[in-house]
Structure 1
């Protein structure tokens, strides 16, 4: 039930941030506060959330500075709603995405498929424009996210100081 709630909250946050922008993004810190309040290790979780949010913002800023991403009305600064979207995403690593822990190939596959799809959907809703041909943008995003999602799970392990002994298909 908790994973389902985390999934629903993330998807609501994603749609709210992408469709309504900064106004909806103001609700993400409220969710983060509740998330940290119920966390068994709030300091570790806060470190993870901040690290993912800052790292994601740096990555998207790089895409923006190289004109791969163009955000309407944001000529040089990453939109606030996108920063909050990274915060919301960070809350899924120990939430509904936790089913991927210890499954590096599935993390990579999930990243390669879901990462580009998320940006493409955002482009379809008018939140971002692509400054390069769509196939190239999707390929770049797919490669980046295939490496990024496993790296975020590794960061999660380091922050929490645990390892996950699972194979590709389950407990090892």
Structure 2
């Protein structure tokens, strides 16, 4: 394990970014597999409360994947085939690697109550828009899709931070 909190946060941020890019450039099992390796590195080198953090990551991954599934079913997101029944594995993997950041490199976001409500509705949709520009996902109706994604992130991101604080207090600083 890395002793320095700053070092852990930097590695966490780098693993998340690399995992996001792996999934977006290789949507499918390859990207998801890379994220599994990054999660192993995260638990070996960054996490200080492995079991608790694994539970929190599981909770957020399920919640985020359900939200993405709803977006696919309602036409807010599309994979180009229009036939997605479940959230694709690469998006599930992105949720898992993203969840690691909430207790580490994005922990600062929870220190101001208002900050998640400002940051999430912009950053969340931006990530999907960026993935659409690379070709990993489609936003069939750009503006309505971005608005729906913004509202979704306005709700889910603060809820995830609240869940961490309430259910997993040892992960909150």
Question: Do the two structures share a fold, i.e. TM-score over 0.5?
Answer: yes
Contact 2:71–2:77 under 8 Å retained in 1: yes
Question: 2:56 matched to 1:48?
Answer: yes
Q: CA deviation at 1:94?
A: 0.8
What's the Cα RMSD here?
1.9
Contact 2:22–2:34 under 8 Å retained in 1: no
Partner of 1:32: 39
Equivalent of residue 19 in structure 1, options 25, 33, 58: 25
Partner of 1:115: 124
| Residues 126-137 of structure 1: pairs in structure 2 closer than 5 A | 126-131=135-140, 133-137=141-145
Higher strand fraction (1 or 2): 1
Counterparts of 2:112 and 2:156, CA distance in 1? 14
TM-score (norm. length: structure 1): 0.87
Partner of 1:60: 68
Partner of 1:125: 134
Q: Deviations over 1:11-66 (max 9, x none)?
A: 11111101112212202122222323442221210110101111111000001111
The gaps in structure 1 that reach 5 residues or longer are 166-172
Counterparts of 2:115 and 2:134, CA distance in 1? 28
Deviating above 6 A after TM superposition, structure 1's stretches of 4 or more consecutive aligned residues are none
Pairs aligned (count): 164
The gaps in structure 2 that reach 5 residues or longer are 1-6
Q: CA deviation at 1:102?
A: 2.9
Counterparts of 1:140 and 1:34, CA distance in 2? 34
Contact 2:129–2:139 under 8 Å retained in 1: no
Distance 1:163 1:84, change over 3 A: closer
Q: CA deviation at 1:159?
A: 2.6
Higher helix fraction (1 or 2): 2
Distance 1:83 1:62, change over 3 A: same
Counterparts of 1:145 and 1:100, CA distance in 2? 14
TM-score (norm. length: structure 2): 0.86
Question: 2:15 matched to 1:9?
Answer: yes
Aligned residue for 1:129, secondary structure, equals: coil
Q: CA deviation at 1:78?
A: 1.9
